[in-house]
Amino acid sequence: MSADVARAESEAVANTVKVRIAPHLARLFVDAPSLLDIEAATVHDLVAALDARWPGMRDRICDSRPAIRRHMNVFVDGRRATLATELRPGADVFILTAISGG
């Protein structure tokens, strides 16, 4: 885990956020919805929570550096995020595929 992710994890407070998942990511996992509410303090925590519900989803969003995959994007309130990005209550999170990977 990178230092900035660890720092964000230790300082941030979990909030309920709204998550949208690109359909072709969601359909890789049985019963994964394209829209859900989830509690997380950071994008890193959010991905961990998704992975706990749908094992393997972290590997599709993140690589082993660890970082968000080169051709994946996570937007938080309209801004491109990293794993360390903190989440405010009610934040709008969109996990989608980049045009560069298609």
Partner 1 sequence: MTRVLTLLGTKKGAFILESDAARKDWTLSGPFCETWPMNHVIADANSGTIYAGGGNEWFGPAVWASRDHGKTWTHSSKRLAYAEGKDPITTVWSLASGHGRLYAGVAPAGLFASDDGGETWAHVAGLQEHPTRKDWNPGGAGLILHSLVLHPEDARQMWIGISAVGVFHTDDGGATWQTRNTGTRCDFLPEDQRYPEFGQCVHCLVMAPGPSGRLYQQNHCGMYRSDDGGKSWQSIEAGLPSSFGFPAAVHPRDAETLYLIPLNGDSAGRYMPDAKAAAWRTRDGGATWQDKRAGLPQHNAYINVLRQALAVDRLEPVGVYFGTGSGEVYASADEGETWTRIAEHLPSISSVETLVIDA
Which CB, 14 or 20, lies closer to partner 1?
A: 20
Report the alpha-carbon distance of residue 53 to residue 47 in Å, rounded.
10
- What is the smallest separation between the CB atom of 40 and partner 1, expressed in angstroms? 21
Q: Is 3 in the site for partner 1 (CB under 8 A)?
A: no
Question: Pairing state of beta strands 72-76 and 92-97?
Answer: antiparallel
- Among 1, 35, 37, 89, which residue sits at the site for partner 1 (rule: CB under 8 A)? 1
For residue 46, the tally of other CB atoms under 10 A from its CB is 26
Q: Is 66 in the site for partner 1 (CB under 8 A)?
A: yes
Helices (H) and strands (E) in the chain, counts: 4, 7
Angle at 25 between CA 19 and CA 27, to 5 degrees: 105
Q: How many CA atoms lie within 13 A of 16 on its CB side?
A: 2
Among residue numbers 22 through 41, which ones bind partner 1 (CB under 8 A)?
24-25, 27-28
- What is the smallest separation between the CB atom of 90 and partner 1, expressed in angstroms? 28
Positions that interact with partner 1 (CB under 8 A): 1, 24-25, 27-28, 55-56, 59-60, 63-66, 69, 71-72, 97-98, 100-102
